[in-house]
Amino acid sequence: MNDMRTQLSFAPLSGIETDLLAVLAADTQTAKGPNAKPEPVLLTTDEAVKAAAATVLASGEYKAGANETVLVHAPAGLKAKRLLIVGLGKQAKATINSVRNAAGTAVRFTKPRGIRELVFALPVAGELDAARSARAAVEGAFVGDFDPDTYRSDRKDLSVQSFTLAVPAGAGKAAVEAAFAEGVIVGESQNFTRSLVNEPGNKLTPTILGQRAAEMAAEVGLKAEVYSTEKLHELKMGAFWSVAQGSEEPPALIVLRYEPEGVTDGPVLGLVGKGITFDSGGISLKPGDNMEKMKYDMAGGAAMIGAMRSIALLKPKVRVICIVCATENMPDGKAQKPGDVQIAMPIAPDRHGKSIEIINTDAEGRLVLADGLTYAKQLGATHLIDAATLTGACVVALGMINAGAFSNDDATYAKFDAALATSGEKFWRLPLGEEYGEMIKSDIGDIKNTGGRWGGASTAAEFLKVFAEETPWIHLDIAGMAWMEENKPYIAKGPSGVGVRSILEWVRSY
């Protein structure tokens, strides 16, 4: 993790000495029509800063579009050496997430220019609450500071060493300070998830993922247990083991527990993550093109581990259990084959586990999650949420704009949907239903592990619902959002850490 120093300043902007002062602007233009021109306005009350930016704002070449930047050197009347203006887009549409992205944009602007410190001015705008903006800005700064080039021999450390949030006069100091401290925890936790997802499969085996989770747990005060092959057999986790059996690497069953003092009743939230540290597809081998990206197939598990880190540090009053099922999916002589029948973990000692016909060994994520969901319930979870890079079908449906979400309980999902206003992440609820359930019925066993090409995200979710049973449950299919295919102004190409913020806020809603 990087060592970016973060601090708050309540001093007037014009008097702050810094290499770079970043200030936000928004387009206030409301007129419509072909001749309507953008009307960029600086979101600050500091007259000296406004004066320093006046010429460039009046020029018409800067439109304050979302994450659009313009740099003013040696701004007159300011102690700062440079003034960076970052756009939020149309002011009427600006959200807390716009501020988060703008802060990331400011950090990513400074990095290649060798600027090691910056001051980011919180916007003065009635619709953007100061405390919520403060938390989002510092989250965005951490997200912006992460780069994936960890194994370059000539790697230059371009990280921003000092990030100061300048708070406007009149903002509630205590509320801003609390929100700022939260933002640091959440931003660091999201980057912790990204650092796990970024690791190649040879450097992050299931065993090493278990070690990294346990080290993190020890640092923040979570209980951690990491099991392997023997435990899978003891628990009769036939679905999880069916994926693991084809790899030389032993699997890891990672169990993290957060038990706040004085909380002995109420819900127990079960977080279940898919931790496939490399997915070759198994015997149903994937095409070679882009297979290197399949190191990211543990992004759901990593999101749960990052969420647990932030939960441990933010201390909500609710018990949480996290289970990550980690293994490789490989095409060895011992690997499972299409047509095999596997028996999932029994839900109770007096019941048989569900029989699963394997149609495609590349539909392996749902197999490990099936046993993970069952185990979470066995450990006492009353509500479940899982995250997985589960289906290409979800990416076909939603593109790389929204992640998919499914739920068997509207009230539980409503809490998650409400959490998105804070997390700023985009999830779109997709349907479940008996018709999808019919598509995964097996002739030889109870269910099959794929329902064919059509409606693939929904049939995969329907498969998981079989194991959630009546327990309120949410499934997050993050396949399209866990890896950024290109650089954006506020985030580097590579792992995104999607899910950490939304899962955290859902947990806190209890």
Distance between alpha carbon 202 and the CA centroid of its chain, in Å? 23
pLDDT (0 to 100) of residue 156: 85
* Residue positions annotated with a catalytic role: 286, 366
**Structural domain includes residue 487:** yes
Contact status, residue 117 vs residue 18, Cβ threshold 8 Å: yes
Q: Quick one: 159 and 203 in the same domain? A: no
Contact status, residue 471 vs residue 372, Cβ threshold 8 Å: no
The sheet with strand 268-279 has its strands ordered as 223-227, 252-258, 319-329, 268-279, 383-388, 473-477, 403-407, 427-429
pLDDT (0 to 100) of residue 31: 86
**Structural domain includes residue 337:** yes
Contact status, residue 240 vs residue 372, Cβ threshold 8 Å: yes
pLDDT (0 to 100) of residue 191: 98
Indicate whether this model's pTM tops 0.95.
yes
Q: Quick one: 398 and 281 in the same domain? A: yes
Contact status, residue 36 vs residue 193, Cβ threshold 8 Å: no
Q: Quick one: 197 and 161 in the same domain? A: no
The span from the CA of 221 to the CA of 409, in Å, is 32
**Structural domain includes residue 215:** yes
Q: Quick one: 159 and 213 in the same domain? A: no
**Structural domain includes residue 312:** yes
**Structural domain includes residue 186:** no
**Structural domain includes residue 187:** no
**Structural domain includes residue 81:** yes
Q: Quick one: 205 and 91 in the same domain? A: no
Tokens 């749960």 locate to 304
**Structural domain includes residue 305:** yes
Domain at 46, CATH number: 3.40.220.10
The span from the CA of 176 to the CA of 490, in Å, is 23
Domain at 477, CATH number: 3.40.630.10
Class of residue 219 by CB neighbours under 10 A (exposed 0-12, middle 13-18, buried 19+): exposed
Q: Quick one: 64 and 210 in the same domain? A: no
Please report, in tens digits, the pLDDT of each residue of the chain (510 residues total): 458 999 999 999 999 999 999 999 999 998 888 888 899 999 999 999 999 999 999 999 999 999 999 999 999 999 999 999 999 999 999 999 999 999 999 999 999 999 999 999 999 988 899 999 999 999 999 999 999 999 999 998 888 999 999 999 888 999 999 999 999 999 999 999 999 999 999 999 999 999 999 999 999 999 999 999 999 999 999 999 999 999 999 999 999 999 999 999 999 999 999 999 999 999 999 999 999 999 999 999 999 999 999 999 999 999 999 999 999 999 999 999 999 999 999 988 888 999 999 999 999 999 999 999 999 999 999 999 999 999 999 999 999 999 999 999 999 999 999 999 999 999 999 999 999 999 999 999 999 999 999 999 999 999 999 999 999 999 999 999 999 999 999 999 999 999 999 999 999 999
Q: Are strands 403-407 and 319-329 parallel, antiparallel or unpaired?
A: unpaired
pLDDT (0 to 100) of residue 495: 98
- Total count of domains within the chain: 2
Q: Are strands 82-90 and 21-27 parallel, antiparallel or unpaired?
A: parallel
Q: Quick one: 242 and 164 in the same domain? A: no
Nearest to 125 by CA among 45, 184, 65: 45
Instruction: Name the residue range of residue 151's domain.
Output: 5-169
> Running DSSP on this structure, what letter comes out for residue 491?
B
Q: What is the dihedral of CA 401, 492, 8, 137, to 10 degrees?
A: -10
Q: Quick one: 203 and 154 in the same domain? A: no
Q: Quick one: 297 and 398 in the same domain? A: yes
Q: Quick one: 159 and 290 in the same domain? A: no
Q: Quick one: 153 and 283 in the same domain? A: no
Class of residue 11 by CB neighbours under 10 A (exposed 0-12, middle 13-18, buried 19+): middle
Q: Quick one: 301 and 153 in the same domain? A: no
pLDDT (0 to 100) of residue 1: 47
Contact status, residue 504 vs residue 423, Cβ threshold 8 Å: yes
The span from the CA of 490 to the CA of 143, in Å, is 8
Whats the size of the chain, residue-wise? 510
Contact status, residue 369 vs residue 465, Cβ threshold 8 Å: no
